[in-house]
Chains A and B, each alone.
Chain A
Amino acid sequence: MSDQDLKTSVKGQILSTSDLPTLPSVLDEVTKLVDDPNSSTEQVAKVISQDQVLSAKVLKMVNSPIYGFPGRITTIQHALVLLGLNVIKGIIISTSVFDMIQKAMSGLWEHSLGCALASGAIAKAAGFEDPEEFTVAGLLHDLGKVVTAVQLPELNEAICMTVREKNLCYYDAEKVVLGFGHDRINAWLARHWNLPPNVREAMTYHHHPDRAQFYQQTAAVVHVGDFLVRLFEYGNGGDDQISYFKPAAMKILKLKMKDLEPVMDELSEQFVEISGLTF
């Protein structure tokens, strides 16, 4: 099968994804919160913001044309205000948990949460407003990997095997097996789900921030965040390599390497705090 054929057939399967499972611990915690009439939107938003699948589901729903403002809402807090807790309850009830692949995937959850935290800290260091928008972009940057694992288990197995046998990073192994990477899958999903353009571009260009059209800064923040979280060896993005670092990203952010030092100090504390707590 040529690349082009694979792209077409895979795209259909990817976009038909209807139920992405999440980690049981997160789901338990959110369920408890939404069942308690005393819990606030802020509390619920905080827990959902730690989970890439729940966050993606919430953003997908609030940005769907049904609500009348597609592509507008970037943060989980805003999404919850607009959806209301009844809809959130519905989303939670309809979310299943990982069973067998749970162990293998929990590394990716940690990596994604780590990238979210790192992206928020970098955005702050670069002096951007609304760091929460960058956090969301960081959280969702590897969503394509989750969808591949769930929707295309055989191809996913082939990718993992290529990582091991050829000692490649996951991104390069995807290109060997599929002919394209999870960044392409992210682009399909983000467009199909009407996610806001800044999140969409970060998901699509986090490996090549200089190629982003309108939101190079968001893509660059996530690029650096991805790099830092791998440097800390927090979680697992599918391989044990440190992702290629593009100097262009720092230029886009107008940051010097030494500006990252306080960011790294902050992150090392946060990672110690959350490790073993959530998972």
Chain B
Amino acid sequence: MDKNNNHGLLGLTKHRCILISSDNKFKELLRDIWSEETLEFICYSQARGAIEDIFNNPPDLLIVDNRVTDISASEVARLVKSENVYRQLPVIICLDEKDLSTPWDWNEIEVDDFIVRPFFRPIVRERVNLTLCRAVRALDANPLSKLPGNTSIINKIQTLIDKNQDFALAYCDLDYFKSFNDKYGFSRGDEVLSMTARIIVNTVRSFVGEQTFVGHVGGDDFVVITSPDIVEEACKRIIFSFDGIVPNFYDIEDRKRKSIVSTDRQGVVQTFPLMAISIAVVFNIDGKLKHFGEASAIAMGLKKKAKENPKSNYVLDRRTP
């Protein structure tokens, strides 16, 4: 078996890892599993010097050995996890079997995984790989919809642009969501967002065999990336389902009246229609776009057009470059 060529992380760009351990054999084992182009290990035998490095230049992974004596491994983990800037950094703790004689309080020591001596090469490899993959998955998900957020959306769009691949990018957002939220409160607003996310995801997925991506920009803004061939049909289906389902989220009187009435801060009574969904679609065909920023700029322009109509609708960008 070729060294450094069967580590299971072949798709991963170079990641930095800080190891705090005085165990040289362990260091060698790690460096032997992954090539430096995949996982670069910066090693410290004591915690003291490592902590400054972690704070100034957070790595993608921290492995800390419980045998380290100057600062305890759990204290190192606590330092990292108690500060929200570093909280997302995955931490693996290395234990000896005797360390496991009594249960650990994992609420107190918020590490992401542990490995136990004697180190068994395949287990070390898979634990580290799994921890890295899990961290990437969890990092950017919207807590409400669990859909990927801005970082993933931008990466996805830029990757497609760089690959010169044709795609349609649909920006969806809700009309009159704010007045709904103001009248009924944020927890009922969240219900509507959960519902919207599910409609979009399931509608897009129902096109069998198509590559699709759905992201949640935040609030009532969602992004769909799909093939230009199906995007118009997807918009129609999303609108049809949204318009059918959204009345269920209003109180019975408002649902009957098909509007909500509320009083603004000036004491003026205002009427708002039921929520609708507006979709602006930008196309990247024959490498028209060079940067994801162009896509969102065009979409924002289209969105204004879509919003002129109080009912759910979609607008396609048919301009040619």
Closest to A196 in B: B248
Judging by beta carbons under 8 Å apart, are B202 and A83 in contact? yes
Interface size on B, residues (CB 8 A): 21
Interface string of B183-214 (1 = CB under 8 A from A): 00000001110110011011101101100000
Give bound CA distance, A68 to B143, whole Å.
12
Closest to A68 in B: B194
- Shortest CB distance B235–A (Å): 15
Is B4 in contact with chain A by the CB < 8 A criterion? no
Give bound CA distance, A3 to B202, whole Å.
47
Give bound CA distance, A77 to B249, whole Å.
16
Give bound CA distance, A5 to B151, whole Å.
58
The verdict on A78 contacting B202 (CB below 8 Å), with A69-B191, A72-B248 known, is no
Given contact pairs A68-B144, A73-B245, A81-B198, a sample of 14 additional A-B residue pairs in the complex whose CB atoms are under 8 Å apart: A37-B209, A67-B194, A68-B190, A72-B195, A74-B248, A78-B248, A81-B202, A82-B195, A82-B198, A82-B245, A83-B202, A84-B202, A84-B206, A196-B248
Give bound CA distance, A83 to B245, whole Å.
13
Is B241 in contact with chain A by the CB < 8 A criterion? yes
Give bound CA distance, A214 to B205, whole Å.
37
Is A64 in contact with chain B by the CB < 8 A criterion? no
Give bound CA distance, A77 to B241, whole Å.
9
* 9 closest Cβ pairs, A-B complex: A68-B194, A84-B202, A69-B191, A37-B208, A81-B241, A82-B198, A72-B248, A78-B245, A69-B195
- Interface residue from B191, B205, B241 paired with A72 (Cβ < 8 Å): B191
Interface string of B243-266 (1 = CB under 8 A from A): 011001100100000000000000
- 17 A-B residue pairs with Cβ-Cβ distance under 8 Å, sorted by A, are A37-B208, A67-B194, A67-B198, A69-B194, A72-B191, A72-B249, A73-B248, A77-B244, A78-B245, A81-B199, A81-B203, A81-B241, A82-B199, A84-B198, A84-B202, A196-B248, A214-B252
Is A41 in contact with chain B by the CB < 8 A criterion? yes
Interface string of A208-245 (1 = CB under 8 A from B): 00000010000000000000000000000000000000
Chain B residues within CB distance 8 Å of chain A: 144, 190-192, 194-195, 198-199, 201-203, 205-206, 208-209, 241, 244-245, 248-249, 252
Is A176 in contact with chain B by the CB < 8 A criterion? no
Is A252 in contact with chain B by the CB < 8 A criterion? no
Q: What residues on A are CB-neighbors of B195 within 8 Å?
A: 68-69, 72, 82
Give bound CA distance, A41 to B244, whole Å.
14
- Interface residue from A41, A68, A196 paired with B191 (Cβ < 8 Å): A68
Closest to A69 in B: B191
Q: What residues on A are CB-neighbors of B252 within 8 Å?
A: 214
Q: What residues on A are CB-neighbors of B245 within 8 Å?
A: 73, 78, 81-82
Q: What residues on B are CB-neighbors of A125 within 8 Å?
A: none
Judging by beta carbons under 8 Å apart, are A69 and B249 in contact? yes
Q: What residues on A are CB-neighbors of B198 within 8 Å?
A: 67, 81-84
Judging by beta carbons under 8 Å apart, are A41 and B206 in contact? yes
Q: What residues on B are CB-neighbors of A84 within 8 Å?
A: 198, 201-202, 205-206
Q: What residues on A are CB-neighbors of B190 within 8 Å?
A: 68
Is A263 in contact with chain B by the CB < 8 A criterion? no
Is A47 in contact with chain B by the CB < 8 A criterion? no
Q: What residues on B are CB-neighbors of A37 within 8 Å?
A: 208-209
- Shortest CB distance B77–A (Å): 31
Is A10 in contact with chain B by the CB < 8 A criterion? no
Q: What residues on B are CB-neighbors of A82 within 8 Å?
A: 195, 198-199, 202, 245
Closest to B188 in A: A69
- Shortest CB distance A186–B (Å): 21
